[in-house]
Structure 1
C-alpha cells in the first residue's frame, strides 16, 4: 500500500490513469450523515458478486481480471 501511495502521482503524470490517495478519519457526524443517506436509499452500494470464503481464490482471480463493476464481497457463510 505504501508503494502505491508513492507511485500513484507518478502514474497519474505519465499515464492515462488518474490515481489519488484517500485518507479519511471519519467523525461521528460524518457517519451519522452517511447512515441517513443509506437508510433513505439516496446512496446505494453496488455489489458485483458475493463469494463464500471457500472460493476466495476465484474471487481474487475475478478481481484481477479487472471486470468488476462494483464491490466483490467475501461472505463468511457457506
Structure 2
C-alpha cells in the first residue's frame, strides 16, 4: 500500500447502502467512518419501535436470553454486555 497525503474518503453509513467493499475498507484499510443523519434517524426509529413493543411483550434477544435461554427474562444493561462478550 502506497502512502498518500490525500485523505481516504470515509465510508458513510446511512442504513441503506453498506457493501462488502465498505466493510473491507474499514476493516483492512482503516478507512474513516461517518454516520449519515439519515442513518442516525433510522437507528433511532428502530430503537424506539423495539422499546415500544417490549413494554407489551417479550422480545427475543432483547428482554429474553437467546438460544436455550430464550424463555429467561433478562435485564437490559447486563444482557447487552453478555451478548457482546459472547
Q: TM-score range by the shorter chain?
A: under 0.3
Structure of larger gyration radius? 2
Q: Which has the higher contact order (CA 8 A, sep 6+)?
A: 1
Return the TM-score normalized by structure 1: 0.24
